[in-house]
Amino acid sequence: MSEAAKEMDAELGAEAEPLDESRMPLLDHLIELRKRLLWCFVAFAIAFGVAFYFARPIFAILVQPLLEAGQGRIIYTKIFEAFFVEIKVAFFAALMVSFPVFATQIWRFVAPGLYQKEQKAFLPFLLMTPVLFTLGACMAYFVAMPVALKFLLGFSGDVGGVNQEALPGVENYLSFVTTFIFGFGISFLMPLLLILLEKASIVSLEQLRAGRRYAIVGAFVLAAILTPPDVVSQLLLAIPLCLLYEAALIFIRITRRKKAEVETDLQTSAELESSD
């Protein structure tokens, strides 16, 4: 057998790395999917029931930035508005609490179809997703929202002899809070997306470097959409996004360098063995 044929057999053998489980027929996949979805539904239903019971204390936490901004009054103008706000608060809290269960069930459904190397590569990103989302949500709650509220409530006062007073509605304020928290949380997941795209060979490090200026513009556009029109609030989102983009590039460069070093060591070892 020629050397080329041997190399081809070795490559085919490497690609034929066994999965954790044998291939299942389509019906078994559908049954497994139904099982995972059922677990997600049960977890969300339990979380929603508990969150609805504590809807008012949860909303009391969400209104703290408004209180710190000097606004001690919030109103509702529709009869059912306060009730539906509590439902939305419970839905929002249940979604946040049950996300780890969703992620776990997705992983258990997908993992058997992945090779061991793919599992080791994908699992850290799955674990980092709630961490980065929480960092973004904390950034929104503790930093961005108080600054935005102080700016927006600053329009109260005397306007041409008329007293202009801010009376935020509960539904409007809840929409404001959820937009900030989800917007910042999802935006902080950008490094994971870039790293996964690079690992999947969809984009390269060189392309990401070349597109740095477009990424900066995109960060400011996204910040302008998700935040009020004041410059400070936009910078509070745009600057971390730019820093996270650079952090993703640094991580990709480090992992590429380590991979190159490992490949060099393996090649050197193979050459030494062949020479012996």
Give one DSSP letter per residue of 220-255, joined into a string: HHHHHHHS-SSHHHHHHHHHHHHHHHHHHHHHHHHH
Q: At what angle do helices 170-187 and 116-139 cross, to 10 degrees?
A: 140
> Please, where are the H alpha helices in the chain?
3-15, 26-53, 55-62, 64-68, 81-110, 116-139, 145-153, 170-187, 190-199, 205-210, 212-226, 231-275
Q: Give me Rg for the CA atoms of the chain.
A: 26
CA-CA distance, 213 to 245, in Å (whole number)? Answer: 11
Show pLDDT as tens, one digit a residue, over the chain (276 residues): 444 444 444 444 444 444 444 455 677 778 888 999 999 999 999 999 999 999 999 999 999 999 888 888 888 888 889 899 999 999 999 998 998 888 888 888 887 777 777 677 777 777 888 888 899 899 889 988 888 888 888 877 777 778 888 888 899 899 889 888 988 888 888 888 888 888 877 888 888 888 889 989 988 888 888 777 778 778 888 888 899 899 889 988 888 888 777 777 677 776 667 766
Pairing status of strand 162-164 against strand 157-159: antiparallel
Which DSSP state fits 269? H
* End-to-end Cα separation, the chain, in angstroms: 22
Diameter of the chain by CA atoms?
A: 96
Burial of 191 (0-12, 13-18, 19+ CB in 10 A): buried
Q: How far apart are CA 249 and CA 255, in angstroms?
A: 10
Q: Cα separation of 148 and 177, whole Å?
A: 11
What is the reported pTM?
Answer: 0.75
195 by Cβ neighbours in 10 Å (0-12 / 13-18 / 19+) ranks as buried
Torsion sign across C-alpha atoms 259, 121, 238, 208: positive
Amino acid 104 reads: T
State how far the Cα of 124 lies from the Cα of 130, in Å rounded to an integer: 11
